[in-house]
Amino acid sequence: MRTFADRTAAVTGAASGIGRALAGRLAREGCHLALADVDADGLAATTAGLTGTGVRVTSTVLDVADEQAVHGWAATVVAEHGGVNLLVNNAGVALSGTVASLSTADYRWVMDVNFWGVLYGTTAFLPHLEASGEGHVVNVSSVFGLFAQPLMSGYNASKYAVRGFTESLRQDLELTGSPVSATCVHPGGIRTAIARSARVDPSAGAALGQDAGAAAAGFEKLLRTSPDRAARTILDGVRHDRRRVLIGPDARVLDALVRVLPTGYQRIVTRAVRSRRTR
């Protein structure tokens, strides 16, 4: 997909952050939009911001963890837009805490949104993308899909799963001669609301000698790349049909660290996190 003009893109997590920035950039390039998010107010704000762009915009309040709802949304998108060319599975949530303290319900919550939401979106839209004759799936993983960090086991597990799924998907599509391609995106620290809306177990703060709120605030300070820059990088990756897209200098540095020290990086990361106790 060298151009997005007169194409249709379906984007989840469109109420804010990267999803909202993608919607804006795609609209400016003449791409029609089907937007979804569980946040009705944020989604309405995104849609209102696209007024006057000259593209068709539809929006759906959607929980990506609901398989039936996701498949229903895909059918609605095709009915309303006549087809779909690009899918961006961007919706995600964050979870922090020690393995000993988190419940299985906590793990199910983060996996339901971050992994199963990606799987449901991909399987729901894939037949329609293939029918378009020119399709692309973008699945948003994370820098935490490249390396692991303490206190983030659930989030790490979900984002590693997205990475593995997307890389295998890409190979499946090539093996079968599909007109659809796939890209896995690994953002570093992006200035979005994910830290503020994260579930932070008290055990995370205790491990850092802080309360949960301070732990979340400390994480938020690491979010330095703008959503618009992230959106621009993602769309450039689609244009060039890249298998993997890294966003932000932190993502590139950490990717290099893991390549050089595939197991040794863990000690470095643990020391860095531990050092926050003294700050």
Work out the burial of residue 222: count CB atoms within 10 Å of its CB; fewer than 13 is exposed, 13-18 middle, 19 or more buried: exposed
Residue in this structure with the two tokens 């599509």, named with its chain if needed:
173
Burial 143-162 (b: 16+ CB within 10 A, else e): bbbbbbbbbbbbbbbbbbbb
> Which is catalytic among the residues 107, 120, 155, 265?
155
Q: What are 260's two structure tokens?
A: 């050089």
Query: What does the alpha-carbon distance between residue 116 and residue 99 come to, in Å, rounded to a whole number?
Result: 21
C-beta atoms surrounding 12 within 10 Å? 28
Asked if residue 36 lies in contact with residue 43, where contact means CB atoms within 8 angstroms, the answer is yes
107 is catalytic: no
Q: Beta 57-61 vs 86-89: how paired, if at all? A: unpaired
**Catalytic amino acids?**
155
